[in-house]
Amino acid sequence: MSDLKRGLSEAVAAAFAAAGLPAELGRVTPSDRPDLADFQCNGALAAAKSARRDPREIAAGVTAALAGDPRLAMVEIAGLGFINIRVSDTALSERAREIAADPRLGASFVEGPRRILVDYGGPNVAKPMHVGHLRSSIIGEAVKRIYRFRGDVVVGDAHFGDWGYQMGLLIGAVMDEDPFVRALMDRLNARTTPVTPDEEKQAFAALDDRISLADLDRLYPQAAARGKEDAEYRDRARKLTAELQNKTVGYHLLWRHFSRVTRVALERDFHALGIDFDLWKGESDVDELIAPMVAELEAKGLLEDDQGARIVRVAKPGETKKKKLPDGSVVVVPSPDPLLVVSSEGSAMYGTTDLATVLDRKRSFDPSHVLYVVDQRQADHFEIVFRAAYLAGYAREGSLEHIGFGTMNGTDGKPFKTREGGVLKLNDLIEMTRTKARERLREADLGAELDPDSFEDTAHKVAVAALKFADLQNFRGTSYVFDLDRFSSFEGKTGPYLLYQAVRVKSLLRRAAEEKIAAGPITVTQPAERDLVLLMDAFDQALVDAYDKKAPNFIAEHAFKLAQAFSKFYAACPILPAQAEVRASRLSLAQTTLRQLEQALDLLGIAAPERM
């Protein structure tokens, strides 16, 4: 079952081919002037240049070939040679019935399903998530759902940052602040026998009383700032990182405590946003692979010594860039920069664990493609890692792709901050949006009949819809301004507006059920019905575009247009008061619209409440 655009493109392509012209010129697109036609084809103008013929003459031949097509109510030439097409009511009725009967609502499967791994989320252990994690989580979840819906085998991985330099900074900062922790580390590190389960339990209990996630969140910025200014402090942190990675007993136990207290908050925030992962892996999960991987890179001749560190050069011959030195002079160096595999202190670096993760994923899942949904500002880093992975044979050329995105900005155009100028924690943003959702519901006199628990559930869904749709309606590569007042409104292009339309249809269907009114075969006769069916028919194309471009905004745009079309249909075409056959047809249109709208919202990770 194909959509109308694809079917008409095939017919028009055949008409061009029959005229001795390239079939690809027959591509049909939605009309720029829906008041004049449903679809259009501009191929005659392109054909005229190569064939040196009058475009209207070419268009006339194509329209003559299409004249007997029963799907078409009108096919005519406009302007210099544009071909305008209007679909018949009968064809639209048949298409509407197909969509209504289809469990996938007109959506096709991808040809040749693949094994896809989506790397998104990227929270750091020992730090609560902040608004900077919002876009990765929201976009990554939507991409995962879209790829899975099209038929790919998809795995989502949170990929924690839990094994690098920041861990060394925190271990040092905690010991500096708390003599008890320092003494515990000294005692554990001096052991010559393994820690028993009881001793481990006692140590965790003691740490629970002394180190919370709030403490870690407070200490890390201080330690990071000092590490930038104090070379001795920075060197100590690097040595502590190396000792952690060597599984020094005390530091490893302290790191496990960091992970335990962080995981609780991470799961809370992800769950609140309706985001879940198949894998909860972090950098530490590939630690055992690093030593043999470094040996393998050495054996392959890819590893070089560089000022006490070990690197892999990824620049191709002749690839260079200009680099400014501290003394102001400029030199030409290879570009991109090399991958730093082992630091001069002997610790694995951020890029090392990313490279080992590529290898781990190849061995455990063997994906045909890996999508990294990470801030666009990390593009250079990923180019270096990907090139190293291809050189090492850990991934097929082109199978690793960075799906970058812009920033979420405040009304000042700068990355979103608190009023005090600090980074806003994600949990605080979620709660702030919930509060606004409650206000909006009460302002609109919605949810008054709900019990307290149902009202809170509805407010939460409205908040999540506001957050997610505000992000996903934009192409991921662009930055956008976050305006909570605008995004939480039940009017305009917002998530709450879409939920309101879905609830509106549900209310209609409940009334029909109470009156024992059944849905029936769809028959399209009115302009608003035509517009609604044409929108539903466009679902598959929106899905294909979102899939091909890794861009959920195509689904968001479809959902919004579908909701608008239903609103116009609802106003122009009375449903329950209509005569029996018309009422049954329109009730089916309402049911099918709701199903497709909820499917589109689900692909975006948005759930609609039953009532408001």
Answer yes or no: do 140 and 288 share one domain. Answer: yes
Q: Indicate if 581 and 500 belong to the same structural domain.
A: yes
Is the confidence at residue 598, as pLDDT, over 90?
Answer: yes
Q: What is the pTM of this model?
A: 0.91
The band of 1, judged by pLDDT with boundaries at 50, 70 and 90, is low
290: in domain: yes
Alpha-carbon distance of 315 to 337, in angstroms, equals 7
Say if residue 446's pLDDT is above 90: yes
CB atoms within 10 A of CB 11: 18
- What's the domain count of the chain? 4
Same domain, 597 and 466: yes
Confidence of residue 405 (pLDDT cuts 50, 70, 90): very high
Strands 115-119 and 369-373: parallel
Identity (one letter) of the amino acid at 500?
Answer: Y
With 90 as the cut, is the pLDDT of residue 179 above it?
Answer: yes
Q: Do 433 and 390 share a structural domain? A: no
Domain C-terminal end among 360, 379, 408? 408
13 and 57 together in one domain: yes
For residue 288, pLDDT beyond 70: yes
Same domain membership, residue 494 and residue 365: no
From residue 393, give the alpha-carbon distance in Å to each of 288, 372, 390: 19, 19, 5
418 — pLDDT class (breaks 50, 70, 90): low
pLDDT tier at 334 (50, 70, 90 boundaries)? confident
User: Which of 151-155, 323-327, 479-483 ranks highest by mean pLDDT?
Assistant: 151-155
259 is a domain residue: yes
Is 148 found in the same domain as 234?
no
Percent of the chain with pLDDT over 90: 80
Q: Are residues 386 and 451 in the same domain?
A: no
- Tens-place pLDDT, residues 225-278: 999 999 999 999 999 998 998 899 999 999 999 998 888 888 888 999 999 999
Contact present, 237 and 396 (Cβ < 8 Å): no
**Among the three residues 272, 290, 310, which one is the final residue of a domain in this structure?**
272
Residue partners of 345: CB distance under 8 A and separation at least 6: 235, 238, 239, 241, 242
Joined tokens for residue 331: 């030199």
Q: Residues 129, 187: one domain?
A: no
Q: What is the pLDDT of residue 127?
A: 78
DSSP state letters, 432-486: HHHHHHHHHHHHTT-STTS-HHHHHHHHHHHHHHHHHHHHHTS-TTS-EE--HHH
Q: Could you say which of 366, 381, 408 is where a domain stops?
A: 408
Residue 330 and residue 453: Cα distance in Å, rounded?
65
Mean pLDDT of the chain: 93
Amino acid 90 reads: T
Neighbour count for residue 563 (Cβ, 10 Å): 23
Of 371, 598, 445, 475, nearest in space to 135 by CA:
475
Element (H, E) at 22: none
Which helix (H) or strand (E) element contains residue 400?
strand 400-403
Q: What is the reported pLDDT for 420?
A: 60
Task: List CB contacts of 294: < 8 A, sequence separation 6 or more.
Answer: 303, 310, 341, 342, 352
Render pLDDT for 517-567 as a digit per residue (tens, 0 to 9).
999 999 999 999 999 999 999 999 999 999 999 999 999 999 999 999 999
Which residues are within 8 A (CB) of 431 and not within 5 positions of it... i.e. 6 or more apart?
A: none
Residue 451: which residues within 8 A CB-CB, separation 6 or more?
none
Alpha-carbon span 477 to 378, nearest angstrom: 13
Assess if residue 327 is contained within a domain: no
Whether 31 maps to a domain, the answer reads yes
Tell me, yes or no, whether 107 lies in a domain.
Answer: no
Q: How confident is the model at residue 326, as a pLDDT?
A: 79
Q: What is the CATH number of the domain that holds 385?
A: 3.40.50.620
For 62-102, the pLDDT digits (tens) are 999 998 899 999 999 999 999 999 999 999 999 999 999 99
* pLDDT score of 121: 86
The CATH number that applies at residue 584 is 1.10.730.10
List all residues 6 or more positions away from 59 whose beta carbon is below 8 Å from its beta carbon: 44, 77, 81, 82, 83
Q: Quick one: 243 and 296 in the same domain? A: no
Cα separation, 280 vs 272, in Å, equals: 17
Identify any residues that bridge with 381 across adjacent strands, giving them in sequence order.
none
Domain presence at residue 399:
yes
**Domain of 288?**
115-161+282-300+344-408
Mean pLDDT of 470-477: 95
CA 86 to chain centroid, in Å, comes to 36
Predicted local confidence at residue 129, as pLDDT: 83
On whether residue 310 sits in a domain, the answer given is no
Least confident window among 12-16, 117-121, 124-128, 527-531: 124-128
What whole-number percentage of the chain has pLDDT above 70? Answer: 99
**Under a CB-based contact definition with an 8 Å cutoff, are residues 268 and 146 in contact?**
no
424 touches 418 (CB < 8 A): yes
Closest to 12 (Cα-Cα) out of 36, 50, 47, 49: 47
pLDDT above 90 for 511: yes
pLDDT tens profile 182-229: 999 999 999 989 999 999 999 999 999 899 988 998 999 999 999 999
CA distance 208 to 326: 46
On whether both 468 and 547 belong to a single domain, the answer is yes
Residue 417 lies in a domain: no
- The C-alpha atoms of residue 346 and residue 517 are separated, in whole angstroms, by 74
170 shares a domain with 157: no
Q: How far is it, in rounded angstroms, from Cα 589 to Cα 264?
A: 44
CATH number at residue 48: 3.30.1360.70
List pLDDT tens digits, range 372-390: 999 999 999 999 999 999 9
pLDDT band of residue 421 (cuts 50, 70, 90) is low
